[in-house]
Structure 1
Amino acid sequence: MKIAILQHVAFEGPAEIENWCRQTRAEYKIYRIFQGDPLPSAEETDFLVILGGPMSVLDELPWLEQERQLIRAFISQGKPVFGVCLGGQQIAKALGAAIFQGADREAGWLPIRTMGSTAVGDLPEELVVFHWHGEQFGLPEGAERLFASEVCANQGFVYNGNVIGLQFHFESTQESIESILQNDAAFLDGSAHTQTAAEIRNQPIPASNREVLYRLLDRLKASVPDRKG
């Protein structure tokens, strides 16, 4: 099985997703879009992961549409796709959902609640997760909502059992959070649903984040179609 990880900026890497790849001994390659790496081929890859980034899905950048075409190719071939933040928005837009500016930014360790879906197995009723977004996605037609928060009705969804888009960052580690704080601290504007850098740094990462992330990735890995021939 071959996993392709699309990284959009140097300071938002795969973090705990890469740790999962190593622990499961999955073959993976990181495509650094910010360095001009070409996108992978859907025919030669089994599982697509799309990371976050500070750009907007609505920006008129050719590679954003090329990435969405790749997402559609994976979905049409029945292959799993997993996206976080910008990646989740890219999946939503590829499936025809709207992307829009939320009424409030979310940045820092804030709660989400689960919506009762059983599509990906049992989930905790509430989780405290790391957010870093202003824009939001609508729920794609045919998708099932997984998570919501006070200011963002669609924090995550599952589509067709093997496509998951999240608005937040289950994959965060202390190192990945520090990288974001060092490179994008201006995003913390003091609004109602943003924490300070000190508050973010002082929050231990809940063990449930890693547990649920690994469970979701394990489920998607198990859905990879058998190769023919």
Structure 2
Amino acid sequence: MKTHIHIAVLEMGILPEALEEKHGHFFSMIQTWLGAAAQEAMVEISFQRFSICNRDDLPQAEAFDAYVISGSKHSVYEDLPWIHDSKLFLNELRHKNIPMFGICFGHQLMAEAFGGKVEKSSKGWGFGTDTYQFADGQSQEVLVVHQDQVVVLPETAHVIGQSAHCEYGALEYDFAAKSTQFHPEFNPALVQDLLLQYQDTVGIDQAQAALAHLPSACLNNQAFAQEVIAFFQTNLANLSCANRSQ
């Protein structure tokens, strides 16, 4: 197994300035979330930030071992050059068998890049907590902040997690790609502040119900981080074997 993983974080969005100052940006949250799991797994890990939504250039695909694609306030169906370029880049990663993991917007971007479809959900906002059922039979509370959802599954994708609100909530592909609609890198304090800021948009009743439940939410974000580290290690080992056999 690879004991050092160099990860590029493609930052697709920014938080409101006051919340970013308080809680950090997407990159720092992902870095903290995965870093703790890597330490437990005795894997050395390094990160580099690419603020794609702020027009940073996409990296050379093979310059990194693995990629994490972050959340965003944007929708993946917006007609923006950096979104189009990112979809092309994800397909380059796919063809080069470079592992990738997408979160929220990243989950949706991967689905659209690989042949699926994303729309604003008729079920409304998922905001606060949700309970997912996973393919291994386990159920788990997770943190969610989204209105868009994957509505058409890519042919190469398999559902490994879902909820009553989000049918295609966690996906694994026939190649080295995995994604979640929920935010395993978030914490309840951030979601609470987001709810307070956007409660008029979400709806007062829904926001207040979500706020009331947050303190008792039973989360296991580190388990998801450990799964992602293991996923990267396994796929990098497979890639190394494939390269040696050529």
TM-score, normalization by structure 2: 0.78
Question: Is contact 1:143-1:157 (8 Å) kept?
Answer: yes
Q: Which residue of 2 aligns with 1:5?
A: 9
Q: Which residue of 1 aligns with 2:211?
A: 199
**Percent identity among equivalent residues?**
22
CA 148–103 in structure 1, closer or farther in 2 if over 3 Å, else same:
same
Decide which of 104, 107, 110 is 2:130's aligned counterpart. 110
Deviation at 1:109, TM superposition (A): 0.8
Deviation at 1:188, TM superposition (A): 2.2
CA 214–46 in structure 1, closer or farther in 2 if over 3 Å, else same:
same
Deviation at 1:27, TM superposition (A): 1.6
Q: Which residue of 2 aligns with 1:63?
A: 82
Decide which of 229, 236, 239 is 1:217's aligned counterpart. 229
**C-alpha distance after superposition, 1:9-58 (max 9, x if no partner):** 23251455312443433121111224332111112122111011111111
Decide which of 162, 170, 175 is 2:184's aligned counterpart. 170
Q: 1:27 and 2:46 equivalent?
A: yes
Larger displacement relative to structure 2 (180-189 or 205-214): 180-189
**C-alpha distance after superposition, 1:51-100 (max 9, x if no partner):** 11111111000000111111111111111110011100000001010111
**C-alpha distance after superposition, 1:148-186 (max 9, x if no partner):** 111221111100252112111111124543564476555
CA separation in 1, counterparts of 2:88 and 2:126? 28
CA separation in 2, counterparts of 1:28 and 1:41? 15
Unaligned runs of 5+ in 1: 117-122
Which structure has greater helix proportion? Answer: 2
SS at match of 1:196: helix
Larger displacement relative to structure 2 (200-209 or 17-26): 200-209
**Deviation >6 Å, runs of 4+:** none
CA 6–196 in structure 1, closer or farther in 2 if over 3 Å, else same:
farther
**C-alpha distance after superposition, 1:98-140 (max 9, x if no partner):** 11121122111121111x3xxxxxx462111111111111221
Larger displacement relative to structure 2 (170-179 or 41-50): 170-179
Max radius of gyration: which structure? 2
Aligned-partner residue type, residue 199 of structure 1 = L
Q: Which residue of 2 aligns with 1:101?
A: 120
Structure 1 vs Structure 2 CA RMSD: 2.6
